[in-house]
Amino acid sequence: MLKRLRDSDPDADIDDELHTITEANKKEGSSRVRDLLAPKTRPLMIIGLGLALFQQFVGINTVIYYAPTILADTGLTDSSSITQTVFVGITNVVFTIVAVLLLDRVGRRKLLLTGTVGMVLSLILLGIYFTSSTLQNEAGYLALVALLVYIASFAVGLGPVFWLMISEIYPIGIRSKAMSVSTLANWAANFLVAATFLTLGNLITREGTFFLYAAIGVGAFVFFLAKVPETKDRTLEQIQDDLNITDDHHARESA
């Protein structure tokens, strides 16, 4: 199977790669959770945890969970808001498929940054919409448009890129444990954001909540731009070079 995957590379040393994978699997069985905090592993953990937390802190699941409530606040009837929520779900599916088609062509980093910009702009538009009574009275479907762009931006960016990157950036020796920690952080953030959305709406208003998520999105963009490397068509060694990780132990482990 490995030979078949490497047919396009005539210089690939299958035996050496197979040996490397075998040795890395042995090391993974003996690795400990504290190995995730090793100096040469820490930058990778920061990236994985940053992706995990920002994916939720931009408010994506509050939109999915509370889309009917948000749309009802635009003046739509309950039945209309539920109907419009169907469009949100369809948009999510369609643009997730688009992301699958683009990830290996465009690259993870470009989609991540572009999608984050789209989310921030959509959140700002939502905040402006709920701030302006004129827009609410005369442009009732503007909120739906903003929600659809927001969902589309997530579906081509943070949605798939987070899950893909945490499977690519960690050395095999710690990969399963590192991915588990990132996944746990992601679900914990999901719970926190979903549990606080309505409370935040009462404390700082609905528009204030969207502006808050937009501000977090700006922070996410800065973090991604500064910390997250491109992983498309790159080996773990090349990714580590981008992050100035030169530890010999990690350099011997292949992604």
At CA 175, angle to CA 55 and CA 54, rounded to 5? Answer: 10
Q: Closest Cα to residue 66, out of 193, 185, 157?
A: 193
- Is residue 137 very low, low, confident or very high in pLDDT (cuts 50, 70, 90)? confident
**Helices H / strands E in the chain, number of each:** 13, 0
Signed CA dihedral, 238, 239, 242, 246: sign only: negative
| C-alpha to C-alpha distance for 173 and 22, rounded to whole angstroms | 10
Query: What domains are there in the chain, each with its CATH number?
Result: 64-250 (1.20.1250.20)
Looking at 36-174, list the stretches that DSSP marks H as alpha helix, in order from N- to C-terminal side: 42-57, 60-72, 78-106, 108-131, 133-138, 142-156, 158-165
pLDDT tens for residues 180-205? 999 999 999 999 998 998 899 899 99
State whether residue 244 is helix, strand or coil: coil
Q: Write b or e for each residue in 55-71: b if 16 or more Cβ atoms lie within 10 A of its Cβ, otherwise e.
A: bbbbbbbbbbebbbbbb
User: According to the model, what pLDDT value does residue 237 have?
Assistant: 75
| C-alpha to C-alpha distance for 3 and 10, rounded to whole angstroms | 10
* Mean pLDDT score, 8-29: 59
| C-alpha to C-alpha distance for 65 and 68, rounded to whole angstroms | 8
User: According to the model, what pLDDT value does residue 17 have?
Assistant: 59
Q: The tokens of 130 are what?
A: 């709920």
Percent of the chain with pLDDT over 90: 45
At CA 92, angle to CA 85 and CA 157, rounded to 5? Answer: 135
User: According to the model, what pLDDT value does residue 136 have?
Assistant: 79
Evaluate whether 82 touches 68 at the Cβ level (below 8 Å). Answer: yes
Percent of the chain with pLDDT over 70: 78
Has residue 2 got a pLDDT over 60? no
| C-alpha to C-alpha distance for 154 and 57, rounded to whole angstroms | 12
Between 162 and 79, the higher pLDDT residue: 162
Q: Closest Cα to residue 147, out of 56, 55, 217, 60?
A: 60
Evaluate whether 152 touches 118 at the Cβ level (below 8 Å). Answer: yes
